[in-house]
Structure formats: C-alpha cells, structure tokens
Amino acid sequence: MTGTHVKRAFRYRFYPTSAQAAELSRTFGCVRKVYNLALAARTEAWARQERVNYNATSAMLTEWKKTEELAFLKEVSSVPLQQCLRHLQAAFTNFFGKRAKYPRFKSKKKSRRSAEYTTSGFRFRDGRLTLAKMAEPLDIVWSRPLPEGASPSTVTVSQDAAGRWFVTLLCEDAAVQPLPAKGTAVGIDVGLDHLLTLSTGEKIANPRHERRDRVRLAKAQRALSRKAPGDGANRRKARQKVASIHARITDRRRDGLHKLTTRLVRENQTLVIEDLTVRNMVRNRSLARAISDAAWGEFRSLLEYKAAWYGREVVVVDRFFPSSKLCSHCGSLVKKLPLNVRTWTCENCGTAHDRDVNAARNLKAAGLAVSACGAGVRPQRRTPGGRSAAKQETLRREP
C-alpha cells in the first residue's frame, strides 16, 4: 500500500534567548504594522473602485521602508513582512469568493503574535533551526521526530497569550498510509450531556474541560480585575495567569479530541455527522460557554482531515434533517417531542428509543443513502422559529 504525500505541520515549543525574544517581538510588531498599512491602502483603493493586489502592496512596502517614520521596518527580516502581504491577499481572495468576511485590522493586544518564514528566511541543518537576523539556532524541544529526510517549506514562530513560544514546521510527509478498508459505518450525534453518541449505542462522556477549571479561572479573573488599569507589571502577571489557565484548558481539549477522532477514523470506513452552524448556536447566551467548551467545530475539522489522510469517508447530513424525531425502525415522524424527553416509544411500531442513540442511527442511515446515491438529505420539518429539529436538545439550559 503506497503512502500519500501530505503537508503536515509539526509544532514544538522552544525557549528563546533574551536577544531572540526581543528580535521576534520586533518582528511580530512589524508584521502587524505592515498588514494594517496594506489593509488600509487596499480599503481606500476599494472605496475608489480600484483593485490593489499583492504586487502593488509589495511595492508599497519598499516605499514605506524608505520613509523616516517607517524606517524601523528595515531592522527585521523582510521575509515575514512579505508573507503577511500574501496572507492579506489570500484573505481578500476568500472575501471576494464569498468564503470569508472582509479582512479586519490586527489588534496589538488581541491578535495572534506570529511570523511566517519561507525557505529564504531560515536555515535548517542537522536538526538545528536558525532564523534570519539571528546568530544562534532556536532552543527547540523536539518532542517528536520529523519525517525521515523531511525539510520544512515554511516555519511559523508564535507566542501565545500565556507567554509560551512555539515553532511550527510545515513538511511534506510521505509516510501517511491509507488504512485497510473496513465495512463499518457509524453515525455520530454531538451533544452536551454526552459529547458524542454513536449509532452503535455507545455514549462518550463530555469531559467539560472548562468547567473543571472554572473556579480557578474565576479566581484569576477576579484578581486581574482588581489590578490598576494600564500596562503595569502586576496587571501583566495577572493577565498571564488567566491566559495560562485558558491554555491548559485548550491543551486538554485538543488532546482529547485528537485521541477521539483518531480512534473513530481507525475503526470505521464511513463516518456520518450533522452539519451544524456552531457560530449561530453560540449566540444562545445560556449555552455559549458549554457549546464552545464542547468544540464541535474543531471535532469536525480533525475528523475530516484525518479521514482524508487515511482513506475514510466523512458524510455530512443536512442540519435540518429531523434525526431526533424520526423513528429509526419504521421511519415515522413523531409530532411532538419535548426537550426533557430523553426516551420515547414510537406510536406506529412500538419501538422504544433513546433520543440520542436514535438520532445517531438516523444520521447513519441518511449518510449511507447520501454516500450510495449522492443525493442530499433535505429537511422534512423545522421547529418553530426556524431552528433545526436535529439539534434542538442544544437549546436546553446547561445545568
């Protein structure tokens, strides 16, 4: 079985020297400045009904460096500055293709601190990575090996809100092997009481990572609110404490989702999920915290790319398909199913159903139909207000 060449990102933590940290911080600031200047220029040109592309902003960057006000841009490597202009071009391409909203300006406090280097901006030899404008290689903790003979095409350096430094190496990996074909399929229903319910009847508990640290997080946030406004040292330490707790929660959640999605992809050939608009769901203020903690969007993203790597199929069923109200045994649709009813009996055939397991089984059947004939599963019924009948259980208040 031949391997598939895929681009894989390998992320490692590193510990910069004070000189390296200062250089990278300057680079982050320059990247943000150039991005905002280019966005402002393109926005003004768009108001005049003119189009400005990457080549034009690259020429602008050259002129900006010649001015006294922006001469500091010459002090950092030009590679990440050019890359941020390419990223802006991609953002506009997605906007005009109606795949994203209009690009936004980068905030000094809220935007991600990162810089991307292409091959002309770094040197990678014998497991040692040296960035442009730096004399010493980065002190990287190689927690896992890179693919044999792999050479990174891009390197992204970032610092999170907790102050941790990371380097991400994008490499081509030929070692990804499609898994042996299996004849199994599974329907997956997401929820809050249980993170996942499978059509096999298995229910996977919701770990509620954020709730586990909620008391500690609230204490740290209260301490931060008592600090004097501004950029004082005490407020900076308190802010970093809050960010550290958030980072711990995020790391645990991502680790759990990686393990879960890998297991599902290995065990099943076809995986059927529901097309949920999580962005709209989190507008429910009483459930936004719980839905964000469940990370349904990240679960779907991980599942889809792993399935593509390993020769599996992910089928997405229409979000308005009434999986909860449809009897998986006879196909009849129950007229009314209150949210507090977790088990019900079909009036037509007398089959007793667990609400979540029944939904997962209906998703599996609908997904197999889509996979077999290529037809989409359209809504049979909407709940009042236009909400999805398939996911009305998320409208319950989180206990």
Helices (H) and strands (E) in the chain, counts: 10, 14
C-alpha distances in Å from residue 381, one per residue of 171, 252, 302, 391: 47, 38, 30, 12
Cα–Cα distance measured from residue 346 to residue 169, given in angstroms and rounded to the nearest whole number:
54
Q: Would residue 189 show up in a list of annotated catalytic residues for this protein?
A: yes
Q: Is there a catalytic annotation at residue 136? A: no
Token look-up 């390993």 returns 310
**Angle between helix 214-225 and helix 233-267 axes, rounded to 10 deg:** 150
206 contact partners, CB below 8 Å, separation of at least 6 = 191, 192, 193, 194, 195, 294
Residue 44 falls in the annotated catalytic set: no
Which residue of the set 23, 189, 210, 393 is catalytic? 189
343, 355 contact by CB (below 8 A): yes
Q: Distance between CA 176 and CA 170 in Å, rounded?
A: 15
Q: Which of 23, 116, 210, 274 is catalytic?
A: 274
C-alpha to C-alpha distances, 113 to 28, 30, 150, 159, 190, nearest whole angstrom: 6, 11, 26, 6, 33
Residues assigned a catalytic role: 189, 274, 356
